[in-house]
Chain A
Amino acid sequence: MKAKQRWVWSVLGVVVLCGWAVGLVQPKGVHAGKEPYKVGAVFAITGTASFLGEPEKKTAEMIRDEINSQGGINGHPLELIIYDDESDATKSALAVKKLIKTDQVPVIIGPTQSDASLAVVPIVEEAQVPLISCAASYKIVEPVAERRWVFKVAGSDKHVVGKMYDYMKAKGISKIGIMTASTGFGASGREELLRLAPEYGITVLADERYGPKDTDLTAQLTKMREAKVEAIVNWSVGPTQVLAVKGWRDLRMENIPLYQSHGFGSRKNLELAGNAAEGVLLPLARVNVGPLLPDTHPQKKVIMAYTEAYEKKYNEPVSSFGGHAWDALHLAVAALKAVGPDPAKIRDFLENTQGFVGQHGIFNFSPQDHNGLSKDDLEMVVVKNGDWALAPW
């Protein structure tokens, strides 16, 4: 009898506590009465791509709280419905269906990864709900004729390669060797490096691939040296890009500049590579190098505001990926503010957005371009004294 009573009391206690907690976290400063504007989000918060999805989720939640504490969107509170796809394209598709059918959101941001984004394209096209993807592959928004409802905020590989080749041309480099990992990321980079080379008058003398878990890259680097290349491009993520830097330094190949993909743009890589990374060049989105930008730069203010707020709230450095979520959610919010929660109007608004100042660049969308970025939205960065610095042109 006594045990049963205790049970009842503890259950009651938990219920009361939960109610109190919900009451506490309810957004303040929003006029009660106006119905909330919903935005759906699908991120890879757990699983293999969690290092991408987690900062995206944190950024989105931070922005929601900011907007709601400032009175919401035209007085309507912002309701963010976030689902975790566990880095799995199938679960992404399910989450998007749920957002459309059950939650009936007028606009969706995410998914985090390219394969997941490609998997959900047919779903949003059929349901006619605009989607702003945070993934990189250009196939997500091309051909535009079949992707009327899909936008993306991450730059494409062709922008990164274009920026790199521009810099090489300025430095008088025309013969290069490329090393790419045999992953989706590496293969896509390799394709663009080879495709764009003739356009910039660059010859690829050596084209080497390696596995994402390889432990030694000195053979590939030696081959580059034998081929007498004037610069080396390494395109991978994870430990292999640090191995490439270490091998390059150990083989005394400093006279052949080493370019890395934008995948190298994490401070963790600088820590792991230590002194060996001095002089490594890479194109990076401006969100990673906010403090280095001149004060007159139009993006400086938004990037610094985001960087400071994020670092204060979560006590970790900002990443490109969180920047994607910032761009996607702020675009969605701008659309909701202008045209209200109507999917078709939001789509038209997004397609005609010009000069939107975001973390990854100044977006200029058009009916022919659902990405809105160009290679000029990247900065060439060099590793100097263990930190990023803008590369001298």
Chain B
Amino acid sequence: MGDFFYGAAWLQYALGGITIGAIYALVAIGYNIIYNVTEIINFAQGEFVMLGGLFGVFYHQTCGLPLAPAVFSAVLTVGVVGLFLERYVIRRARHATVLSMIIVTIAFSILLKGGAMLAWGKDPHRLPAFSGTGAFLWHGVAVQPQALWVLGISALVVGILTVFFRKSFYGKAMLACADNPNAARLVGIPVRTMVMLSFVLSATVGAVAGAAICPITLMEYDRGALLGLKGFGAAVLGGLGQFSGALVAGLLLGLSESFCAGYLSSGYKDAVALVLLMLALFFKPEGLFGSKEAAGLKRF
């Protein structure tokens, strides 16, 4: 039994899969927040992650702030970018259909990517690990302390958001806006403020993910698109709008990618996410954790 666990390849694959899966989950959660309030799929979500990492690098290396304040400032800055997206782009197009707004977010993501390329160049950048350097061995398996940070931060974000939307006054108000904006307005919920809040919150979550993974994966200007795609896969697989669903689906996606790379061929790794996404859309379009009735009510 000891041999089964000690230094086993499968354990190493699982660890890599869980780490990358947690990142997908954080991206998926970003999609869910905005979707929950506006039914918009914000395709600039991947760029928020990219910006989170790159602003972290900017504040830490260019401005010389210590790591913790640098990450905090990066998250705040990206929050402001999210605010900007809602206030000056989405709100101006508020009479458009949901589909048009989704296309607007794609345009915004291209803008962010191009801007990041001009500001940071095309080379990858790196943040130092949050604590300790190098990996340590646990049961013969190499563990990066930063991977534990990523996992911890993901769990924390999921926990806080679930409580926020289920229990808090503001969270419930935000959900109400999604179900029926007119009714929400009638009972006195400031719908616009709620929508803005959702964009800021989603940008913040994306930035946290970006800053957390930057020490492991490095970050460069065009990383956002692929992370956004995988995160979207996780969001749909888990059921759009479900936070715990996103977490489970993200981890599932990461694990299946890692095991596919380990036991089949790493060439097929990226296909796994898309195959899982297609299977979900064929057999359970509402996602693993979504309910069919709720899905029937949605416009998109």
Looking at chain B's contact residues, the main secondary structure is helix
User: A182 to B261, alpha carbons, bound, how many Å?
Assistant: 14
Q: Is A2 an interface residue (CB 8 A)?
A: no
The answer to whether B23 touches A215 (Cβ under 8 A) is yes
User: A251 to B265, alpha carbons, bound, how many Å?
Assistant: 20
Partner of A222, one of B12, B220, B226, B227: B12
Q: Mark B138-178, 1 if CB is under 8 A from A, else 0.
A: 00001010000000000000000000000000000000000
Residues of A within 8 A of B (CB): 50-51, 182, 208-211, 213-216, 218-220, 222-223, 225-226, 238-239, 242-243, 246, 249-252, 268, 272
User: A49 to B80, alpha carbons, bound, how many Å?
Assistant: 32
User: A147 to B123, alpha carbons, bound, how many Å?
Assistant: 36
The answer to whether A239 touches B137 (Cβ under 8 A) is no
How far, in Å, is A237 (CB) from chain B's closest CB?
11
Q: Is B246 an interface residue (CB 8 A)?
A: no
B216 / chain A contacts, CB cutoff of 8 Å: 215-216, 246
User: A51 to B122, alpha carbons, bound, how many Å?
Assistant: 8
Stretch at the interface among B13-21, B107-115, B198-206: B13-21
Q: Is B258 an interface residue (CB 8 A)?
A: yes
Residue from A182, A211, A226, A239 having most chain B Cβ neighbours under 10 A = A239
The answer to whether B20 touches A216 (Cβ under 8 A) is yes
User: A182 to B268, alpha carbons, bound, how many Å?
Assistant: 11
Partner of B16, one of A213, A216, A242, A268: A216
CB-CB nearest in chain A for B260: A219
B123 / chain A contacts, CB cutoff of 8 Å: 268
The 3 closest A-B pairs by CB, nearest first: A250-B135, A215-B217, A219-B261
User: A223 to B218, alpha carbons, bound, how many Å?
Assistant: 23
User: A238 to B226, alpha carbons, bound, how many Å?
Assistant: 15
Interface size band for B: 35 or more
B20 / chain A contacts, CB cutoff of 8 Å: 215-216
User: A242 to B125, alpha carbons, bound, how many Å?
Assistant: 11
The answer to whether A272 touches B142 (Cβ under 8 A) is no
The answer to whether B267 touches A222 (Cβ under 8 A) is no
B9 / chain A contacts, CB cutoff of 8 Å: 222-223, 225-226
User: A223 to B258, alpha carbons, bound, how many Å?
Assistant: 11
A-B contacts, 12 of them at CB < 8 A, read A182-B267, A210-B261, A210-B266, A211-B226, A213-B226, A215-B223, A216-B16, A216-B217, A219-B12, A222-B12, A242-B126, A251-B12
B262 / chain A contacts, CB cutoff of 8 Å: 219, 222-223
User: A316 to B222, alpha carbons, bound, how many Å?
Assistant: 24
A268 / chain B contacts, CB cutoff of 8 Å: 123
